Amino acid sequence: MGNLSDLSKMVEPDRVRKEVYTDAEIFEREMERIHETVWIYCGHDSQVPKAGDYCTVQIGRQPMIMVRGKDRKVNVLYNRCPHRGNLICGDRKGNTGDQFRCSYHAWTFHHDGKLKNIPMMESGYAGTRLNKDSPELCMKKAARVETYRGFVFASLSSSGPSLKEFLGESIVAFDDMCDRAPGGEVEVVPNCFRVIQHSNWKLFMENQIDALHPSVVHQSTGRAAHEVEKLLAKEAKSGEAPLSYHMLSAFATVTIDKWDNFQTINYPHGHCILTGYMGLRPQDPDTLAYDKIMIKAYGKKRFEEIVGVNIHHVLVYPGLSVQSPLQQLRAVRPLGVDRTLTEIWHFRLKGAPEAIYRRSLAYYNLVNSPATLINADDLENFWKCHTGLSSDGGDWVSFARHHGRDLEKDGVVSSAPNMGTSEAPMRNQMKAWAKFMKEAR
Amino acid sequence: MKQQHEVEQFLYRQSELLDTKQWQKWIDLFAADGIYWMPPDASYKTWDGQPAIFAEDKNLMKVRMLRVLHPDAWSQRPLWETNHVVSNVVIRKVAKNGDIEVASRFHMMELRRDDVRHFAGSYFHRLKKTKNGYAIKLQRVDMANAQAAYDYVLQVWV
């Protein structure tokens, strides 16, 4: 492979060449033209509450630092000393005090990356090409940084759409999550789960909104949870098992045909909304107590609008999957053509009762932890897909399901009624991929 | 000495049940309100209301066991092999009623198809003295691997 001049031949409306998932050179190009160009999620500003707080984050192939400055501004810098290229932060997070200090030759930098001091600056650099004001003595900043409702994004390209323009309708991921808090704000639950899958990053993005897969892939856990759920319901005074069992059993009790009742709505940059409930508006005392607080904060009408938002998943292309009703966020960090890291975060609705936090926490632990009862079988499939795609047993990946039956209006493609398992999201992602790949930086 | 011996035998038996996949018997070692807990890292003080890799009562343990035994548990075909070695057993506290707190260390080799992984760390057991020996009120598992990303995931208890 390696012939990138003809990328258009790799993506057809209903199928894609296997090399798109397995070719190392294509991976390098997509890092450059997609991940290192468009808006990528860095983190939430509650991860760095105090001046000097930082965490490291990978954007495409670039090691970056997200840091809170003394001016309260969140900066995103390349994690690289301008002197000899040393990483400035070796730790994943911490507080750097009022400066960054390189561990190699003790160059120091302000939180915005500007040079603070070099040991023996005068004697060492007098008469050289460098002086204290040389821009090449600063830590390089991400070209653009923008925050929406506390969610920090960076783009390594100085041109392109603004964050809001780029997010378009997918911005509902953050609105839906934050609006569900009485004060309209969320905060991160410290630390994320980090899991590596042995496949290309695109398989993860496709799987997240693949409405057909759950009842096949997660049958084992759905059945197991349903067995125990039935026993617990029989024992319980209320006649109901804890909601967390329902969250798991739904993978089996929602049968394969029912997933067609879901709908995907697909947007030009590759973003996607998967609609559909998992029974998330129960009438138990915890929910009713929460409803009361919400109605007090927003009024009845606005409250109904907020909890009525019908979202299961929002996918922000190319690297973010948000389950806003459960306050979970997964950020995809490609490590190589065949290795992908996901960082999985949980957020707390500020001002909501503890019981509501615990409900989504149960989902976070059972579905998204490194001992996951659900994702284990997804990761298994990703590895199997990658291994099969690397073979000579075929050249194409098919996305033909319900092709030609989707509804399209103004560039937005929706699955048709009762065709929620349409492979429209995969077709749409690859269409966006091909467009990004063609665009020169 | 007798107590030390009893506790050691209990821990060895627990790891043997895991390695021989006798999961129901393994679950039976827990008290009715027993909890199996693996915190994300050593800084966590309680399993309750916190992110956790495992935080399971006996009901959730049963879900995990039934899942692994289901024919469509794709990631478990073939079932993984494990080999635990438990050592450094130190009794930390003995209550008047015979309840006991014990710390130990483990090393686990896991084989999944062609891939070997190694996990190591420490156990903390809070054990209740019963007529038939000990029952686990709480087992805390701290992974020495905790600061690294998980390369693939864990499926059965460690």
Domain CATH code at residue B70: 3.10.450.50
- Identify which of B52, B64, B149 has the shortest CB distance to residue A341: B149
Asked if residue B152 belongs to a domain, the reply is no
pLDDT of residue A253: 84
Domain A168-211+262-438: which CATH class?
alpha beta
pLDDT of residue A4: 61
* The pLDDT of residue A441 is above 70: no
Percent of chain B with pLDDT over 90: 91
**For residues A248-259, average pLDDT:** 86
A282-330: pLDDT as tens digits: 788 999 999 999 999 999 999 999 998 989 999 999 999 999 999 999 9
Q: Structure tokens of B149?
A: 């990303």
pLDDT band at A5 (very low <50, low <70, confident <90, very high): low
pLDDT of residue A41: 98
Asked if residue B35 belongs to a domain, the reply is yes
- Identify which of A232, A341, A373 has the shortest CB distance to residue B64: A373
pLDDT band at A1 (very low <50, low <70, confident <90, very high): very low
Length of chain A measured in residues: 441
Phi, psi of A263 (to 5 degrees): -140, 145
* The pLDDT of residue A243 is above 90: no
**For residues A265-278, average pLDDT:** 89
* The pLDDT of residue A2 is above 80: no
A232 and B59 within 8 Å at the Cβ level: the answer is yes
- Which CATH number is correct for A40-148, 1.10.600.10, 2.30.30.60, 2.30.40.10, 2.102.10.10? 2.102.10.10
* The pLDDT of residue B114 is above 80: yes
Amino acid identity at B155 = Q
A197 and B52 within 8 Å at the Cβ level: the answer is no
Asked if residue B148 belongs to a domain, the reply is no
Rounded Cα gap, residues A151 and A148, in angstroms? 5
* The pLDDT of residue A79 is above 90: yes
B41-66: pLDDT as tens digits: 999 999 999 999 999 999 999 999 99
Q: In sequence order, what E strands does B76-144 have?
A: 81-94, 100-112, 115-130, 133-143
Number of domains in chain B: 1
pLDDT band at A238 (very low <50, low <70, confident <90, very high): confident
User: In a 10 Å sphere around its CB, with 0-12 CB exposed, 13-18 middle and 19+ buried, how is residue A313 labelled?
Assistant: buried
pLDDT of residue A439: 75
Q: A439 or B110, which is more confident? A: B110
A233 and chain B in contact, CB less than 8 A: no
pLDDT of residue A435: 93
pLDDT band at A434 (very low <50, low <70, confident <90, very high): very high
* The pLDDT of residue A280 is above 70: no
Contacts of residues B145-149 at CB distance under 8 Å and 24 or more positions apart, as own/partner, are B145/B119, B145/B120, B145/B121, B146/B40, B146/B41, B146/B42, B146/B121, B147/B41, B149/A194, B149/A195, B149/A196, B149/A341
**For residues A147-151, average pLDDT:** 98
**For residues B18-27, average pLDDT:** 98
A190-218: pLDDT as tens digits: 989 999 999 999 999 999 999 999 989 99
* The pLDDT of residue A389 is above 60: yes
pLDDT of residue A279: 53
**For residues A60-73, average pLDDT:** 98
* The pLDDT of residue A18 is above 80: yes
Most B CBs within 10 Å: which of A191, A240, A329, A365, as the mutation test of the B interface? Answer: A365
Asked if residue B157 belongs to a domain, the reply is no
Asked if residue B151 belongs to a domain, the reply is no
* The pLDDT of residue B135 is above 50: yes
Rounded Cα gap, residues A41 and B74, in angstroms? 32
pLDDT of residue A251: 86
Chain A CA closest to residue B112:
A380
Mean of pLDDT over chain B: 96
What ipTM is given for this predicted complex? 0.96
Phi, psi of A199 (to 5 degrees): -165, 175
Residue B90 lies in domain: 2-143
Mean of pLDDT over chain A: 94
Most A CBs within 10 Å: which of B60, B61, B113, B141, as the mutation test of the A interface? Answer: B60
Instruction: Give yes or no on whether A40-148 and A168-211+262-438 have one common fold.
Output: no
- Identify which of A220, A361, A372 has the shortest CB distance to residue B153: A372
Domain boundary assignment for chain A: 40-148, 168-211+262-438
Q: Which of A103-112, A220-229, A278-287, B123-132 has the lowest mean pLDDT?
A: A278-287
Asked if residue B97 belongs to a domain, the reply is yes
- Identify which of A224, A245, A369 has the shortest CB distance to residue B52: A369
